[in-house]
Amino acid sequence: MNRRQNRQAHKQAKPAERITTMKLTVPERIVLRSILPTQESYAGMTEIAKLKIHLTFSGEEALQIELTQEGGNLRWNADKAAQLIKDVPMGEWMTNVVRDILREKNEKHKLPEQEMSLYEKFIVDYGMV
């Protein structure tokens, strides 16, 4: 099998996953990170780790929004944070995992206020209600 045939066979064996870009605010990035599963298959944990990297604040972002940690709480300048919206790439599998988590919380009447905007972006805006 030549190189071209090998690439073609690989593409057929594993179709490319569709990537969605979510525009997330500072609080949404923090909340989303907190609801992600802590246990999953190896492949799943790899995808979760990739997402966590995108949700983490860079040093520049932390300075921009004056991010500090006091005890176990994060604090930031709300006016400056309002200007920081990040495009976070998410694969189809990861998007569905987040949707399932939020949908389940809603169905059990356990959706907290701080997760409402994520619910709107992942469920309502996609017509998944």
Q: What is the pLDDT of residues 22-43, one digit of tens each?
A: 999 999 999 999 999 999 999 9
* pLDDT digits 0-9 by tens, 38-70: 999 999 999 999 999 999 999 999 999 999 999
Structure tokens at 84: 């920081």
CA 17 → CA 8, 14, 124, distances in Å? 16, 9, 22
Q: Residue 32: how many CB atoms within 10 A of its CB?
A: 24
Is residue 20 very low, low, confident or very high in pLDDT (cuts 50, 70, 90)?
A: confident
